[in-house]
Amino acid sequence: MTVTQDGAHGAGTKPVDVNDPKLSRFDIVREGARRDDIEIVTYESQFQGTNSKAEKRVVRNIALLFMISGLAAAAFVVFFIVWPWEFELGHTMSDYYTPILGISLGISLFALGIAILAWAKKLLPHEVSIQDRHNKPSSDEDRLITGQTMAYLVDELGVQRRPLLKGAIALGLAPLGVAAAAPLLGGLIENPHKDSEPFMYHTGFDPVPNNGQLVRLTREDGSPVRPDDVSVGGQITVFPGIPGGATNKYADSPTLLVHLRAQDAQDAREATEADKINKGGMWGNYVAYSKICTHAGCPASLYEQQTNRLLCPCHQSQFLITDNARPIFGPASRRLPLLPLEVDEEGFFVAASDYPEVIGPDFWERP
């Protein structure tokens, strides 16, 4: 190990004129290391001679990894654009959209990482250096040495004398760059809201598919719900009273029907009447809100009677029922949609209309 001498140069060595044209780039690199109190003990190639069979074999393997990375990234871009992505009920090709994107991009990044590691471990020269600390500022010559060191490192990568790697890097990283931009630009290819009435804007409470008749609120077994079925301060989960209303076919429709206490109901009514969307949505002391959390789509089903808060157990979002189910805690940024209520001639609860707001997790554009 060298000993520091005024923090400028290793003991027992004389400074070298780095502007001497006879010096090789490595000589300048070594001199720079010495001025930083770094002694390069070992610096040797891992192969016997240049372009040996062993080196060419390693180069081919690394180039193959770069090519695999590029092909997988290109596959990601192709699948992102052409694979069916729109949600459809049942077992369809769109079910594989997300897994295919994840697998293709994962293969691309994995192959790229292995290629970089193999390059560092198998191609770069083996080096052992010893360094002492120093606190002196850098001189002009030191900055020159630093520049030459960086240029030397580029040379040592061996890209210039290994054209196979040069082409593999270009073909491998270019598709990966396109893959990085695809999610940002891909959404501009087709308008997801192109239809006059997008499918995801409607739930099982929409009266149009029900021959124009208002949809009843029912239990999971299909039995309709009367106002007297819910005690004061209580709540019940209800579903659209249509065939399959309590199944995954209408997974966006579970609703929490709450019978508020008198004072709480008065507070809730004042809040809904002051809101242009929710106005007139309550029936008596009853109010109904979607159970689908607007953060990540989990079931917000933990109702605190004393505080009138509805809690989502997944990420602890809390919604205040007496204030239009406004989020007051947690990551949710949008309130729960209100289902307007009425009671039909037989005394059962019905939805006065479908939800006036979009159900589920928030997104950048709403109707």
User: What does the pLDDT average to over 279-295?
Assistant: 94
Q: Judge whether 185 lies within some domain.
A: no
End-to-end alpha-carbon separation of the chain, Å? 71
Q: Of 186-195, 290-299, 358-367, which one has max mean pLDDT?
A: 290-299
Hunting for tokens 């290109």 — which residue is that? Answer: 74
Which secondary-structure segment (H or E) carries 165?
A: helix 163-186
What local confidence, expressed as pLDDT, does residue 11 receive? Answer: 45
How many separate domains does the chain show? 2
Residue 221, domain CATH: 2.102.10.10
Q: Judge whether 321 lies within some domain.
A: yes
The pLDDT of residue 199 is above 70: no
Q: Are residues 212 and 102 in the same domain?
A: no
Last residue of a domain, one of 100, 131, 162: 131
What local confidence, expressed as pLDDT, does residue 5 receive? Answer: 41
Q: Which amino acid is at 320?
A: L
CA distance 58 to 123: 7
For the record, the structure tokens of 107 come out as 């293969």
| Mean pLDDT for the chain overall | 83
For the record, the structure tokens of 159 come out as 């890209």
The pLDDT tens digits for 311-336 are: 999 999 999 999 999 999 999 989 99
User: What does the pLDDT average to over 227-246?
Assistant: 94
For the record, the structure tokens of 192 come out as 């997801």
The pLDDT of residue 18 is above 90: no
Q: Are residues 125 and 231 in the same domain?
A: no
Q: Are residues 111 and 210 in the same domain?
A: no
Q: Judge whether 333 lies within some domain.
A: yes
Q: Are residues 108 and 221 in the same domain?
A: no
Tell which residue, 365, 310, 354, has the closest CA to residue 332: 310
For 246, the 3-state DSSP assignment is coil
Q: Are residues 117 and 210 in the same domain?
A: no
Q: Judge whether 254 lies within some domain.
A: yes
For the record, the structure tokens of 271 come out as 């809040």
Least confident of 1-5, 157-161, 167-171, 293-297: 1-5
Q: Of 46-60, 194-208, 281-295, 353-367, which one has max mean pLDDT?
A: 281-295
Q: Confidence class of residue 366 from pLDDT cuts 50, 70 and 90?
A: very low
Q: Judge whether 6 lies within some domain.
A: no
Which secondary-structure segment (H or E) carries 249?
A: none
Q: Are residues 127 and 206 in the same domain?
A: no
Q: Judge whether 217 lies within some domain.
A: yes
CA distance 34 to 50: 28
Q: Are residues 122 and 231 in the same domain?
A: no
Give the domain extent around 273.
Answer: 202-351
Hunting for tokens 């002051």 — which residue is that? Answer: 274
Q: Confidence class of residue 4 from pLDDT cuts 50, 70 and 90?
A: very low
Q: Are residues 336 and 206 in the same domain?
A: yes
Q: Are residues 222 and 95 in the same domain?
A: no
Q: Which amino acid is at 276?
A: K
Last residue of a domain, one of 131, 156, 180: 131
Q: Are residues 337 and 209 in the same domain?
A: yes
The pLDDT tens digits for 43-75 are: 777 877 777 888 888 888 988 998 999 899 889
The pLDDT of residue 147 is above 70: yes
The answer to whether 327 and 273 have CB atoms below 8 angstroms apart is: no
Q: Are residues 125 and 221 in the same domain?
A: no
Among positive and negative, which fits the CA dihedral 134, 137, 139, 144? positive
Last residue of a domain, one of 83, 99, 131: 131
What local confidence, expressed as pLDDT, does residue 51 receive? Answer: 76
The pLDDT tens digits for 240-263 are: 999 999 998 898 999 999 999 999
Q: Confidence class of residue 95 from pLDDT cuts 50, 70 and 90?
A: confident
Q: Judge whether 225 lies within some domain.
A: yes
Q: Are residues 321 and 213 in the same domain?
A: yes
Q: Judge whether 232 lies within some domain.
A: yes
